[in-house]
Amino acid sequence: MMNTDAAGVAGLSAPQAACGPDACAVSQAPPRIRLIAIGDEILSGRRQDKHFARLIELLQERGLRLHAAEFISDDEDDIVECLRRSFATPDLVFCCGGIGATPDDRTRQAAARALGVPLALHPEAARLIGERCAEMAAKGQGSADMGTAENQQRLQMGVFPAGSEIIPNSYNKIPGFFIRDHSFMPGFPVMAHAMMAWTLDTRYARWHHRESRVEHSFLVFGLPESRITPALESLERRWAGIRAFSLPNVGDSGGPPHIELGVKGAPEAAAEALGWLRAEVQSLGGRLDPPA
């Protein structure tokens, strides 16, 4: 018999609330975690997004999961509209791109507009940027004098919406910023991915591996999706909280046509539902072995 049982565990987390950690664990629903990637270069295809896959990996390592992702342009009005919707949710959001100091970097300004707060130079960001300039000057690159036009321009990268906290940047010290459960970081993967990990481990460590989820799947041959659909619907009625999924493959990659069927949810219930689904597949004439 050939099948592709695959199990993964993803914990869910809950938003911050005005209660103790034990009370919150019981009373709060798990939070949604989302990604917003900002940049015309991604939408035009000049650069390929690398944040989506890496954030999923970082979350899975900590028993968390990604709920949604959005890709938007550098247009400031577009970013404002997106962030206004986002700030109105209790979600934990990672925003990548557009926090530099060139004309196409408008995320800092858009975040301030979306929140209705002014922009201000963050003192800790100013200190870190000054340290970076001094380090570069010691290597013969630029000046340590923060009064120069170039360094004044660099200081703009520390101008954040009022009330923001910094996100350390281990690559070059130029920080990102955090406000209202939204973490803003550069578009450069070498910087952003370390900042994502720091944020997850520093701000949201209390939610790591708080709830167990598994995902199981297996391949089915010789069974049309329409025939198995009623069984998938019945499965979700029988096991509350278990979600079924069906991923057809028409055989365009060279193998025989098949369906990847699976379940996801709490471990014990998912295991029961998986066994039931396998039996249903076979009773309906499906095969777990590929055709000879």
At 151, list the tokens.
């360094």
44 lies in which domain range? 21-207
Do 234 and 154 sit in the same domain of this protein?
no
pLDDT of amino acid 30: 60
pTM score, whole prediction: 0.81
Do 100 and 238 sit in the same domain of this protein?
no
Specify the number of domains making up the chain.
2
Average pLDDT estimate for 164-187 = 97
Q: Which of 156, 180, 207 is the last residue of a domain?
A: 207
Look over the chain and give the mean of its residue pLDDT values, rounded to a whole number: 90
pLDDT in tens, 29-67: 469 999 999 999 999 999 999 999 999 999 999 999 999
At 166, list the tokens.
């910094």
Do 162 and 274 sit in the same domain of this protein?
no
Do 199 and 236 sit in the same domain of this protein?
no
Do 188 and 110 sit in the same domain of this protein?
yes
Query: Using alpha carbons only, how large is the chain's radius of gyration in Å?
Result: 24
What are the backbone dihedrals phi and psi of residue 272, each rounded to the nearest 5 degrees, phi first? -65, -45
Do 141 and 276 sit in the same domain of this protein?
no
pLDDT in tens, 211-239: 888 999 999 999 999 999 999 999 999 99
pLDDT band at residue 88 using 50, 70 and 90 as cut-offs:
very high
How far is it, in rounded angstroms, from Cα 266 to Cα 173?
A: 41
Do 124 and 261 sit in the same domain of this protein?
no
Contacts 24+ apart (CB under 8 A), 28-31: 30/210, 30/211, 31/90, 31/91, 31/92, 31/207
Domain of residue 115, CATH code: 3.40.980.10
Do 148 and 201 sit in the same domain of this protein?
yes
Average pLDDT estimate for 192-208 = 96
